[in-house]
Structure 1
């Protein structure tokens, strides 16, 4: 075969080899990321939220230097690290459909938060007390999707596992699956908002539930419904459920959430919010991926 034939043969083989090479590269990267998360589960899911809670409370109490108190970079990095098990766990299920739906959810997140800050609808009049990283237009955090969307994903994934265990027929029925997931999203905010108000992340003009007005939860019903519908549309449910079953760390971000905001609510006497965090803890234990033996092993290895 002469040089021309060899060149033509190579040109013919190249296009078909590119997708395979891309797939092999993606698989190798995925395995490395999973190994990294597994090797550092205790640090990510326990150490980071505990240290985060201590630093946030110390910031409120003026126990930290000004350069460290509510430091936006530390808040962003800490949040990103705690989100990493969820992100790495779901990466194999991210395709074009998922990217499209999550892109729409990202746009919605920015839009509804902007409307909320400017008009007070649908959450009630509120404002940010500190800058959570760069602020778009000086109004809302640039990293808002990183703060909000994983909360929805955690609630949705926990819903799938709990329904599969306790109400298998409900898992297949949209009329049951979506309302339960939306209720889980609202329950997440029953924990988040009182703690965030207590440490000054944001504040409302009027309050009721530990400084949070009822209108906020009507707003979360709306946002939760939109977000859950898009997440439900984004993934093949069977493939997603199989991934959640086999990836032992995918819900570790929810563990971090319970530790961080449960601790803050306990410290500030937000007992109902702390109790709801305890319910999430019970939900995690009911999935059989977390038990006391695993907790003891994690602490001893940590």
Structure 2
């Protein structure tokens, strides 16, 4: 499902963009986009749910509130991402911001953090935070050009990176650092590492992200973004916590 579901989503995106085969009401349907995204998030939710105590809950609520705040400021004042606007309503909107924004933003941050925790288990708090921030930036370098190509949002004046300006990535350094730092504070690292060891599907959402947006960047010919998606997939395979399209190595207990 982690591979097939996003491939179906990519096919629907392509058909919507080409305006073929799909009825008008289904093409780029915002409710369907939000629903499909929420379904892909389910493995992450199930993986983390046993660890969400009061502190973690407060932390996740803080990231949610921050995501609304920074997006509202970005939409209305052009800070910190640069001037941009939503061209497609991603579900119900309030003040120009999608109500479902945390469904899109929060998992990107958490997935990046979990991948770093698996790849760098001995990293210090500062090293882990900076590495997770780097992964989150790569995630946006994969996501944004394809989203712009699909018409989800546009930047005034375009930008050097497939229509995305430098200001967007500078903004992600700020928003990503704040969000990753809150996630770092929210969870017991040892408990989180133990959960990842026993819950092999926890990063399936990240697999789906790479498949979906990697495929869309192939469609648009955004080859730098495609290369970065391949890099993320290599990191996912390296974790050995699941088999990524048959490429993952066997875990010792399975050998």
Question: Partner of 1:22 in structure 2?
Answer: none
1:291 deviates by: 4.1
Question: Partner of 2:143 in structure 1?
Answer: 192
Is structure 2 residue 167 aligned with structure 1 residue 210?
no
Give matches, 1:191-270, under 5 Å: 191-206=142-157, 207-270=159-222
Report SS of the residue matched to 2:85.
Answer: strand
Report SS of the residue matched to 2:135.
Answer: helix
1:154 deviates by: 0.4
Runs of 4+ residues deviating >3 angstroms:
290-296
Q: Quote the Cα distance in structure 2 between the aligned partners of 1:277 and 1:46.
A: 14
Relative distance call for 1:292 and 1:174 in structure 2 (3 A) is closer
Question: Partner of 1:57 in structure 2?
Answer: 14
1:294 deviates by: 4.1
Q: Supply the RMSD in Å over aligned alpha carbons.
A: 1.3
Q: Quote the Cα distance in structure 2 between the aligned partners of 1:242 and 1:259.
A: 26
State which of 40, 44, 66 in structure 1 corresponds to 2:24.
66
Report SS of the residue matched to 1:216.
Answer: helix
Q: Quote the Cα distance in structure 2 between the aligned partners of 1:224 and 1:117.
A: 17
Q: Quote the Cα distance in structure 1 between the aligned partners of 2:185 and 2:45.
A: 18
1:175 deviates by: 2.2
Question: Partner of 1:26 in structure 2?
Answer: none
State which of 74, 85, 92 in structure 2 corresponds to 1:116.
74
State which of 77, 84, 92 in structure 1 corresponds to 2:35.
77
**TM-superposition CA deviations, 1:6-49 (whole Å, max 9, x none):** xxxxxxxxxxxxxxxxxxxxxxxxxxxxxxxxxxxxx2x12210
Is structure 2 residue 235 aligned with structure 1 residue 283?
yes
Choose between structure 1 and 2: higher helix proportion.
Answer: 1
Q: Which runs of 5+ in 2 are unaligned?
A: 249-255
Count of aligned pairs between the two proteins: 246
Question: Partner of 1:157 in structure 2?
Answer: 114
Relative distance call for 1:238 and 1:53 in structure 2 (3 A) is same
**TM-superposition CA deviations, 1:173-210 (whole Å, max 9, x none):** 12211111111111100000001001111010131100
Q: Which runs of 5+ in 1 are unaligned?
A: 1-42, 297-302
Give matches, 1:107-186, under 5 Å: 107-137=65-95, 139-164=96-121, 168=122, 171=123, 173-186=124-137
Report SS of the residue matched to 1:203.
Answer: strand
1:103 deviates by: 0.7
State which of 37, 53, 56 in structure 2 corresponds to 1:95.
53
Could you state the TM-score of these two structures normalised by the residue count of structure 1?
A: 0.79
Report SS of the residue matched to 1:55.
Answer: helix
Relative distance call for 1:292 and 1:203 in structure 2 (3 A) is closer
Q: Quote the Cα distance in structure 2 between the aligned partners of 1:145 and 1:81.
A: 14
Is structure 2 residue 3 aligned with structure 1 residue 46?
yes
1:290 deviates by: 3.5
Q: Quote the Cα distance in structure 2 between the aligned partners of 1:240 and 1:226.
A: 20
Q: Quote the Cα distance in structure 2 between the aligned partners of 1:293 and 1:266.
A: 18
Q: Quote the Cα distance in structure 2 between the aligned partners of 1:121 and 1:53.
A: 30
1:292 deviates by: 6.6
Report SS of the residue matched to 1:209.
Answer: coil
Report SS of the residue matched to 2:232.
Answer: helix
1:289 deviates by: 2.2
Q: Quote the Cα distance in structure 2 between the aligned partners of 1:286 and 1:100.
A: 32
